[in-house]
Structure 1
Amino acid sequence: MSILNKQFNTAHDTAPFSQIKNEDYIPAFDLAIEKTKAEIDAIINNPDIPTFENTIAAIAYSGMELDRISNIFFNLHAAETNDELDKIAQEVAPKLAELANDITLNPLLFERIKTVYEQKDKLSLDGEQQTLLQKSYRDFVRNGALLDKEKKETLRQIDTELAVLKLKFGENVLAETNTYQLHITDEQDLAGLPEGTIEAARGLAEAQDKAGWIFTLDFPSYIPFLTYADNRMLRREIAIAAGRKAFQNNEYNNEENILKIVRLRFQRAQLLGYDAHAHFVLEERMAQHPLKVETFLNDLLHKAKPAAEREFQELSIFANKLHGIEQLEKWDTAYYSEKLKQEKFDLDDELLKPYFQLEKVLDGVFTIAQRLYDLYFHEVQHIDKYHDEVRTFEVNDSNNNLIAVFYADFFPRKGKRNGAWMTSFKPQYRKEDKDERPHISIVCNFTRPTATKPSLLTFNEVTTLFHEFGHALHGMLADTTYPNLSGTSVFWDFVELPSQIMENWCNEKEALELFAKHYQTGETIPMELIDKIKASASFMEGMATLRQLGFGLLDIGWHAQDPRHIDNVKSFENSCFVSTQLLPDVKENAMSPSFSHIFNGGYSSGYYSYKWAEVLDADAYAYFQEKGIFDKTVADKFKENILSKGGIEHPMTLYKRFRGKEPSVDALLKRAGLIK
């Protein structure tokens, strides 16, 4: 028996990473799958009449060993993968898809759920139990419980194929990210780049025993190069390399994978009685219907586009005046935006970075969590890690009760996918009078320390840390009975509210003074810089909004219709971008082949939710601003009604209980400077 199938003899039941070997995973998954099947069989074969406890609650608590192993494995597959883990993932994914189908397509199990569901009005259930009952019934129906035998078999085949295709998509993107390097040997080609970026690039070259400097498609390398490098041809080269990830004539091309994924998703939705994949997905979202999403996106587009066009014209004139640029290209906007921001606000990231040492920013976010939610973070060394760079914390309340275990993994590595995310190794839930506390992790790709400097964050990286920490709070403060309603187990267009609202504290003097201290002198960030941060907060916001709306429209374009007529990824994508495009098309580039959010992550038909949640967060933060950004009454209401409740009630019900009203889009438009 693998160590993964045993009770962990560790602090707080944390994962024993150092004792897990790659060869442990397949046997552990196989045994846990068998145990899960046995638990389900026990529910089905229970001779007692179906009740909420012996059926609905029993299903909610089934398969927990398997969930635990899956959390450990797939989190490592994202943050610390290798060829061996990739192979294991390809073998395991279809097994898990098959088990999910074995459960949701089992007619005897569904009959028991249906029996309880049909008595729901006569049962004395509390709000959380009612939600679980509704969710259990709906999940089974949405996963084929009402289909005939032949259609159930088709559904099984689709789900198995989709599980493998999505994994392959993500592996291709990571492989393409890792393959590309821009190797510079002429020092003149570094003109304009910040000292820290140059030093990091030299370190990458030295690690490979090469002379010069190496830049990669990892964000801490790629973004500064695009933003600061004076050499336009090299900016062009790296920008085109980033845009053609998985869109090249090689083994990692994702075009065929995309067409297969969208067709299978459509086929699945039709099989279940829905018009298209988006109709299926959005039934379980606040937005509810693709038409509402399209209306929402187009309404924002109508309001943002005039501002975006004005900004683009201003940027074009500025680039022409500065360097005679006749036509702005994809590899120009970050560079000239930064130059224009410096001219307008006398502000650039290099001026700010000395005040944003990673350790101090982390202490700052902990202090803010303490002041708002009475959480205390203590770094510990006795909790096992999956990599030396991971930091581990015990999180306690003011009475020294354990609230959560927190992992933080900050720097890029070869086996880690790009971007930043929050995840969990163990959810919060209550069983047999014991409150099991969650194990939460945030994974980022921040600027590494160098030989002469600690990790100094760009302001964008600071907001990313606050964003992911907001998700982490949602997981850490969970206070529910059932694991599948806990923490971030909420409607997808609600899940970004806790993360996006946290970003607001980055712009506030009261918060910045807690952590923005110069790494050499200890001087607190000067008030004039804080004023400039606030003044520049909505700089180029029209263009940024247009870009996000473009991604949302592309996502809904792929998923709100019958995609079987689409045979060319690039030309379809261009048709979706018509209303949001400001820059000329780059024929070698396409967004979709590396759009992991919708083809490998959980955002298919849900990318709009970033903007949707911005409406919620702007409206919710306006409440904090009215009362004071550290006001305990508002913080307690947010903790009680949003952060702790998970998915036990409809999000709008929770939001209105916190805010006293439905959200208004005006708060977002004002904050973004799109309306007066």
Structure 2
Amino acid sequence: MTENPFFVQSALPYRLPPFAEIREEHYAPAFERGMAEQLAEVEAIADGADAPTFENTVEALERSGRLLSRVTTVFFNQASSDTTPGIQAIQKEITPKLTQHSDAIHLNTRLFARLKAVPAEGLDAERAWLLERYVTDFVRAGAELGPEDQQRLRSLNEELSTLSTTFEQNLLADTNASAVVVDDAARLDGLSEDAIKAAAETARSRGLDGKYVITLGLPTAQPPLTELTDRELRERIHRASVERGVRDNPDLVIRMARLRAERARLLGYGNHAEYVVADQTAPSTRAVTETLAKMTPAAVANAHREAEQLREEAGFDLEPWDWSFYAEKVREARYAVDSRAMRPYFELDRVLRDGVFHAAHKLYGLDFTERTDLVGYHPDVRVFEVFDEDGSPLGLFLGDFYARASKRGGAWMNSLVKQSALEGTRPVVVNNLNITKPPAGEPTLMTWDQVNTMFHEFGHALHGLFSDVGFPYFSGTAVPRDFVEYPSQVNEMWAVWPEVLANYARHHETGEPMPQDLVDRMLEAQKFNQGYATVEYLAATLLDWAWHTFEEEPADTLEFERQALRNAGVDLPLVPPRYRSTYFAHIWAGGYSAGYYSYIWSEVLDADTVEWFKENGGLTRENGDTFRRELLSRGGSVDPMTGFRAFRGRDPRIEPLLERRGLL
């Protein structure tokens, strides 16, 4: 295939992948040639006649696999954002091959010997750190195991990659199939007019003209439960949410947990959590366990108090599908805040341009120009060129904001091109959200949670865009999992910063700003329901932890889940985990296994950093430049906590987080 667009470097600005030219049949040949090319490059490095140096070994490894990198980033972005049966078939075939390919590199004894022989003397800090990271990665990948153990490790890795792909595809299919179909618009009482129109449009797109379809988001709690007055419909939606994956995924979950535990033991660790945490910022599994245990009792007590308030409001014993509805009632009564009344002030394009981009301009001097001449991987994808304050080009930002049946749930950031001085590349990053698309010509009105998520994901995007490192290995968000959420969580603070909020929270029809009394009540209400929010998060975190620290191998997925929640003290019937085991994509099909604690761990740094911004004047260029210089631009090129201390001047304090969560 001589015209495969992956076979040559993209000629588009910033090396944006040529999406208009890419077809499904290009992927498999590009993967095969890419893996073959990199293995040849690796063999040449391993068999080098010259004494090993940083340049002929480490830097050569960093330069290897460019074709494979191009096709991998584009393919897996599409597999997440706009999959097809053809893409899914390729994914099932190629994922185990990629695992085999990685093992072929990391278990190459001659290559590992050369890495260990590279002299560290005379290297600058980034090069010395890169050498150390490469050696560590090879050891963690099994380079020091004997031949028999290495062969078993290969088998474990291959099976795990296959199971993970199957879990992901099962979940997408089940989530689409579990969407709730409503025949009568009267049953949608409570939903806003734009939400009802969106449900009708979703139904029409599925060939169900005249009906209404409520699709499911990835977490357990579904946004329509806040507004729907029809209790039976709320129950249907809740049950559809919590029963996802129950048919196809329980056996996969148990098998993956067992295989991960075996792999950890093979590599010299007591369990998978120990293996994961050994390469994170958390000092030990004990430290993680103690932090979670410290937060749980107060969070549970808060949730019980909230439940009692909701029972008083409802006048009867609640079920899980009632919580959001009556929490909204109490919120309205206590703070006079109606979430439906806020939506007209959160129109997507205004939130993006006058909120997210405005904050980035004020803080970092960035400017954004939409590039309608550049094509994304789906018609809904928008491309923006990003410029620094001096007008110099920084990179490209792609926004893919709408939900569709071909996109997995949740919200995330991907890097399509990594910044590095070695390759002379500037970053190309994409943010994915899952906002229901309205009918043509109708405005996209967002919930407050969606606004917050947009700011959060753009924090990841800034981490990628500001990358200023020498080597691709360190680029952007290539930091430990329990540190990566930190910059994105910090960026959430600007969603409620008065100057930013006043700039974007304007009525989509009149342009009038959100009334100040509504703003004040909205901000005051933010601490409401924190017991529920903290417990649902902790329940998912502790469930992840249980799956990856067990001593007795689990035999039944749902029973193991029940027992794990009970043992952790978070088995509250009214507050189910944010994700149950059978649809916990973060840990079974993502990179968060034994790492979902990362959000709360990073939030310690986040809350402390928010205090720093407030102490130093908030939304100023000086503050933005400091945060960019000391943290966002460094990627993984320095030890993360060293970077935090350089920025904050000390170790983080947990008190700001405890105060934010109502846990003091």
TM-score after normalising by structure 1: 0.95
Give the alignment partner of residue 581 of structure 1, picking from 571, 593, 604: 571
Q: CA deviation at 1:61?
A: 2.2
Alignment partner of 1:479 is 2:481: no
Identify the residue that residue 559 of structure 2 maps to in structure 1: 571
Equivalent in 152, 175, 182 of residue 177 of structure 1 = 175
Deviations 1:586-642 (A, max 9, x none): 99x981010000000000010011111111111001111112221222221110111
- Structure 1, unmatched stretches of 5+, are none
**Structure 1 residues 600 and 216: CA distance shift in structure 2, 3 A:** same
1: distance between equivalents of 2:459 and 2:277? Answer: 24
Q: What residue is the counterpart of 1:239 in the other structure?
A: 238
Q: Distance in 1 between matches of 2:508 and 2:549?
A: 50
Q: CA deviation at 1:283?
A: 0.5
In structure 1, C-alpha distance between the alignment counterparts of 2:62 and 2:219, rounded to whole Å: 41
2:22 and 2:431 mapped to 1: Cα distance? 21
Distance 1:382 1:356 in 2: 27
Distance 1:654 1:585, change over 3 A: closer
Alignment correspondent of 1:196? 194
Cross-structure match for 1:212: 211
Q: Is the Cα contact below 8 Å between 1:555 and 1:598 reproduced in 2? A: yes
Aligned length: 658
Q: Give yes or no for contact 1:8–1:16 (8 Å, CA) kept in 2.
A: yes
Q: 1:535 aligns with which of 491, 513, 524?
A: 524
Is residue 411–residue 447 contact of structure 1 (8 Å, CA) maintained in 2?
yes
Aligned to 2:633: 644
Mapped contact 1:220–1:445 kept (Cα < 8 A): no
Kindly indicate whether residue 517 of structure 2 is the aligned counterpart of residue 519 of structure 1: no
- Paired residue secondary structure (1:429): coil
1:344 aligns with 2:339: no
SS at match of 2:395: strand
Which residue among 410, 413, 425 is the counterpart of 1:422?
Answer: 413
Q: Residue 353 of structure 1: CA displacement?
A: 0.8
**What's 2:358 paired with?**
367
Change (3 A) 1:627 1:281: same
Per-residue Cα deviation, 1:105-125 (whole angstroms, up to 9, x for no partner): 000000001112xx43xx111
Output the CA distance in 2 between the equivalents of 1:104 and 1:237: 48
Q: Distance in 2 between the 1:182 and 1:492 partners?
A: 34
> Secondary structure of the residue that 1:436 maps to in structure 2?
coil
Q: How does 1:159-174 map to 2 (within 5 A)?
A: 159-174=157-172
What is aligned with 2:254?
A: 259
Query: TM-score under structure 2 normalisation?
Result: 0.96
CA distance in 2, matches of 1:15, 1:318: 54
Amino acid in the other structure paired with 1:257: L
**Structure 1's 644 and 4: CA in aligned 2 closer, same or farther, altered over 3 A?**
same
| Equivalent position to 1:156, from 144, 149, 154 | 154
Distance 1:342 1:501 in 2: 28
Q: Distance in 1 between matches of 2:559 and 2:281?
A: 31
* Distance in 2, Cα, partners of 1:491 & 1:181: 35
How many angstroms does 1:452 deviate by? 6.1
Q: Which residue identity does 2:549 align to in structure 1?
A: A
- Asked if the contact 1:77–1:85 (Cα under 8 Å) also holds between the matched residues in 2, the reply is yes
Q: Which moved more, 1:666-675 or 1:414-423?
A: 666-675
One-letter code of the match for 1:421?
Answer: W
Change (3 A) 1:182 1:64: same
In the alignment, the residues of structure 2 paired with residue 608 and residue 206 of structure 1 have an alpha-carbon distance, to the nearest angstrom, of 40
Tell me how large the CA RMSD over aligned residues is: 1.8
> Could you tell which deviates more after superposition, 478-487 or 10-19?
10-19
Answer whether contact 2:245 2:583 (CA < 8 A) is retained: yes
Q: Could you say which residue in structure 1 is the equivalent of 2:279?
A: 284
CA distance in structure 1 between the partners assigned to 2:435 and 2:291 by the alignment? 33
Does structure 1 retain, via aligned residues, the 8 Å contact 2:180–2:240?
no
| Identical amino acids, percent of aligned pairs | 38
Aligned AA (2:559):
S
Contact 1:216/1:222, CA 8 A, preserved across alignment: no
Mapped contact 2:219–2:579 kept (Cα < 8 A): no
Q: Which residue of the other structure, out of 653, 656, 660, is the alignment partner of 2:649?
A: 660
The amino acid of 1:44's aligned partner reads A
Partner of 1:309: 304
Match for 2:497 among 508, 511, 517? 508
Instruction: Give the residue type in structure 1 aligned to 2:343.
Output: K
Quote the offset at 1:209 in angstroms. 4.3
Consecutive unaligned residues in structure 2, runs of 5 or more: none
Q: 1:148 to 1:257 in 2, by over 3 A?
A: same
Q: Which AA in structure 2 matches 1:178?
A: N
Give the partner amino acid of 1:414. Answer: A
- Equivalent residue runs for 1:108-123 within 5 Å: 108-116=110-118, 119-120=119-120, 123=121
Corresponding letter in the other structure for 2:404: R
